[in-house]
Structure 1
Amino acid sequence: MTSSNDPLGPVALAYAAVSHALCAADRRHRHSDGSVVAVSGSPVASLNAVISPNLDPDPEVIGALAGSEALRGLAWSIQVRGLPGQRVTDVATRNGLTHVTRLPLMIRRPDAGAPPPVTGSLRVRPVGGDELGLYARTMADGFGVPHETFELFTDPGLASTEGFTFYLAEDDSGPVGTGMAAVQGELLGIFNIAVLPQHRRRGHGRAVTTEIVRAHHAAGATTAYLYASTMGEPVYASADFRTEEVLTVFRAPA
């Protein structure tokens, strides 16, 4: 588990909890050390994962969770904080997960204050369960993947999951992007920031992110976190996010 000398421990635990909550009860398991196996069934490896929230992940725990029957036949990943030791790398290699990606963990601290509301023609609004189909299709189009890739997000019940809020960004032409908030106490996790290709390079991704931050900052979730791509890191930096750690993701080669 995380300790008092691990200030990012609560963020790592929150991230693991989000992945856990997205999966059906019979396709997830939490180990006593906080590690989880969370299997959504999506063809995206990051959505079927063994995740350790610990600074010194236990390779035996990771290996045991990697043996979950629910992972068989799916693209999946092992996700650990920072730069893993050789024993964790060996577990990944034995499971065929030899492609390594490192994602910046970016934090927006309370002293950054609440960002201003979005202005102009872009509108960012929360959606209910009846619109999650549109949300999932827009997200898939934004990421350039088949619609069935994000079928798990079409479940209307997700909209009532405690702490989860799903957002559509729209202009006069209709939906142009998506975002998702996952709140645990003062922590706000931001996920699923996607913008349709024809609407990129207009600041929409940044606008969706800052609107989510603004809405939840007002409600008391004053520390925001997200995992960025290398390309997205400068965009979030411009919204007062700072890289404080990396997440190492092991998956099978494409």
Structure 2
Amino acid sequence: MNDGDLAGAVDANYWQSFKLLARACGGEVLEREGMLAVSTGLPVAMLNIAFVKRPLADPQASLNEVMSFYDEKRLPFVLRLREGVDPESERAAPALGMPYSDTVPGMALHPVPPPPEPVRGLDIEQLSDSKRLGAYQRVAAEGFGMPVEFVERLMGPAFLKVAGFGSYLGTVDDEPVAVSSVFVDGGVAGVYNVATLESHRRRGIGEAMTWRSVLRGREAGCSVAVLEASELGKPVYERMGFRVVAPYKTFRRRNQE
């Protein structure tokens, strides 16, 4: 696969996983030609994302419709599009009050190698029912710096039933310390929700949780693993062999978090 193919794989997995996650937590989805707007219903801009998927015939009209979609719900949101996909939309967004904010690295690993040796003392279990869901939610909330009630709504019992998703809880001495998830779709494994408690960072645990999600994809026959990296995670993923193939430009209204 060339970089264009890999970028397309990042796109497709990102869009589909976010749509399914939103619907599982009672959110809403707006789809138009070249446009996808996803609302989780939570008052956090990064949990309400509008994607420009390809060049828009009328960027100003499409973006105005997106803004109305979120304004009707009184929700903050961000606009995200892969660099170079639609320069006209990149120019239209600031003119409509959504200046450029930052670029999120969309990364891909191809081919998917065997995982390294496990981290000593770390046990990783797959969530098969809601018995350990509370621990997953608490670790995710603390790891991402979010209110636990937001995570409980976003990743409730319905989250465990979404087709293609798998989630993992990492423990050290029976203490939950890390989480990760994976979405397998179309031969691509998307890695999501990788978080480690601050008390257990810099021990290779986050990397091990990422590898567990990647392994799920490998077991399912996936030849590609993809993810969107945080500033903290990007060096770790690069060490694992991931490369940036889909830089996502982010635009947002001022004073929206």
Paired AA for residue 246 in structure 1: P
Q: Which has the higher contact order (CA 8 A, sep 6+)?
A: 2
Separation in structure 1 between the aligned mates of residue 174 and residue 199 of structure 2, nearest angstrom: 11
For 1:206, the aligned partner's letter is E
Q: Deviations over 1:172-203 (max 9, x none)?
A: 05110111101102101111111101111111
* C-alpha separation in 2, matches of 1:191 and 1:150: 14
| Structure 1 CA distance for aligned equivalents of residues 133 and 46 of structure 2 | 20
Query: What SS does structure 2 have at the residue aligned with 1:68?
Result: helix
Equivalent residue for 2:164? 163
Cα offset, 1:69, TM superposition: 5.0
Alpha-carbon offset, residue 87 of structure 1: 4.0
Single out whichever of 44-53 and 70-79 deviates more from structure 2.
70-79
Deviations 1:185-229 (A, max 9, x none): 210111111110111111111110012112321221220001112
Matched, 1:44 2:44: yes
Aligned residue runs from structure 1 range 223-242, under 5 A:
223-242=224-243
The aligned length equals 247
Shift in CA distance, 105/69, structure 1 to aligned 2, threshold 3 Å: closer
Post-superposition Cα deviations, 1:90-117, rounded to whole Å, max 9, x if no partner, equal 33552x433511011110001x522135
Q: Which amino acid counterpart does residue 9 of structure 1 have in structure 2?
A: G
Q: CA offset at residue 9 of structure 1?
A: 2.1
Matches within 5 A, 1:1-254: 6-7=4-5, 8-24=7-23, 27-33=28-34, 35-54=35-54, 56-57=55-56, 59=59, 60-68=61-69, 72-83=73-84, 85=87, 87-94=89-96, 96-98=97-99, 100-110=101-111, 112-130=112-130, 131-254=132-255
Which stretches in structure 1 are left out of the alignment for 5+ residues?
none
Identity %: 28
CA contact (8 A) 2:139 2:197 kept: yes
1: CA distance between counterparts of 2:103 and 2:44? 16
Task: Please tell me whether the aligned partners of residues 33 and 56 of structure 2 are also in contact (alpha carbons under 8 angstroms).
Answer: no
Give the Cα separation in 2 of the matches to 1:236 and 1:152.
28
Contact 2:3-2:245 at 8 Å conserved across structures = no
In structure 2, give the amino acid aligned to 1:135. Answer: Y
Q: What 5-or-longer segments of structure 2 have no aligned partner?
A: none
Do the aligned residues in 2 keep the contact of 1:123 with 1:169 (CA within 8 Å)? yes
TM-score with structure 1 length normalisation? 0.87
User: SS of 1:51's equivalent?
Assistant: strand
Task: Report runs of 4+ in structure 1 exceeding 4 Å deviation.
Answer: none
Q: Distance in 2 between matches of 1:192 and 1:86?
A: 32
Paired residues of 1:50 and 1:78 also in contact (CA < 8 A): yes
Deviations 1:30-51 (A, max 9, x none): 2243x31110012321211111
Indicate if the aligned counterparts of 1:106 and 1:242 stay in contact, CA closer than 8 A: yes
C-alpha distance 119-201 of structure 1, shift in aligned 2 (>3 A):
closer
Conserved? CA contact 2:122–2:172, under 8 Å: yes
Cα distance, 1:169 vs. partner? 1.1
In 1, Cα distance between equivalents of 2:208 and 2:254: 33
Kindly tell me: are residues 213 and 98 of structure 1, through their superposed partners in 2, closer, same or farther at Cα, counting changes over 3 Å? Answer: same
Using the size of structure 2 for normalisation, the TM-score is 0.86
Deviation at residue 66 of structure 1 after TM alignment: 2.9
What is the Cα-based RMSD across aligned positions, in Å?
2.4
Query: Contact (CA 8 Å) 1:129, 1:158: kept in 2 or not?
Result: no
Asked if 2 retains the 8 angstrom alpha-carbon contact of 1:129 and 1:157, the reply is no
Decide whether aligned partners of structure 1 residues 189 and 57 sit closer, same or farther in structure 2, where only a CA change above 3 A counts: farther
CA distance in 1, matches of 2:252, 2:209: 29
